[in-house]
Amino acid sequence: MLLEIEAKINGNLLLSKKIELKKYPYIIKVFEKEKEFFISFSRKILDIENAIPKIFQDENNNTRIKLPNSESYQDILNSIRHIESFGALDNRLLSIDTHNIKIKFIPENENDHLSPLKEITRELEKANSPERLTKDWLQNIIINENQMGDLYIPFSFYRDATELYNKTRYQSAFCTYFMMLEYFYHEKHYGIQNDAYTRMKSLNSALLNTLEEIKKHPNHYNWLVDKINKRQKKYNPAGLLFTINRFRDELSHAVDKNKNRNTFNDFSFNS
């Protein structure tokens, strides 16, 4: 049985005909469908146990479907992200959507029907509630424009970072959020000093609030505790600020030569 992952390509592109090539163990295709562009990778399924859906009965005798673990096709997603990065440089490609994808299970012969489903569409859940705009808010923003001075600059970083975050581009979102923090809390030419929280009450308060709020989300909390412990720091403002600064250094300067150095690759945590 073959596994195929199909993802949408975003960008102003031209494609005269379908592209198809082979690189063991993959068959890679780029094609146009209904005036949109897609890329697909297919290969033979090696781990049948974890790579295909399963139907089972739960404790209430209801029929359930267990979807394959994303680790079973992580190699394909890594290759697509590799193409995405170089496509942005060489072809002005905007992005390849690796979060809203189609997962297909293709039999190689008429006896090859191991999967109960032929196709799964994985879509990122969006649960943002609408925010109400009011006349008072607009009036306050306009009246106080001169007093706010250049605060629109760091808040433009916040706006850009939030857009990146909502698109699950967590590495870029983190670096852009950091630019906002750096604008407020730098004391020298650049960067945030690891002890800056001792001199800036608002920074210390923000760090404390983050440490408390994240406890409400067990996956996020365990992830952060692990990252702080690996740096031999404590779960406190000093440890959190040091870890944030190290994230920035590691992402910006590629100090870790590992191909998967991006600490935010695990998008399942929304970290």
Residues in the chain: 271
Residue 66: exposure state from Cβ atoms within 10 A (0-12, 13-18, ≥19): exposed
pLDDT digits (tens, 9 = 90+) for 142-151: 888 888 888 8
Asked if 211 and 98 sit in the same domain, the reply is: no
Q: What's the domain range around 175?
A: 136-269
Residues pairing with 101 in the sheet? 7, 122
Determine, yes or no, domain membership for 249: yes
> pLDDT tens digits, residue range 178-209?
999 999 998 877 788 889 889 999 999 999 99
In a domain, 201, yes or no: yes
CB 211 within 8 A of CB 235: yes
The pLDDT value given to residue 43: 93
Average pLDDT, the chain: 84
- Examine the fold and report which residue of 94, 122, 150 is the final residue of a domain before the chain moves on: 122
87 in Cβ contact with 71 (< 8 Å): no
Domain end point (choices 122, 144, 163)? 122
Looking at the structure, do residues 150 and 61 belong to the same domain, yes or no?
A: no
Number of domains in the chain: 2
The more confidently predicted of residues 207 and 163 is 207
Q: What is the pLDDT of residue 21?
A: 94
Is residue 131 domain-resident? no
Contacts of 262 (CB under 8 A, 6+ apart): 171, 251
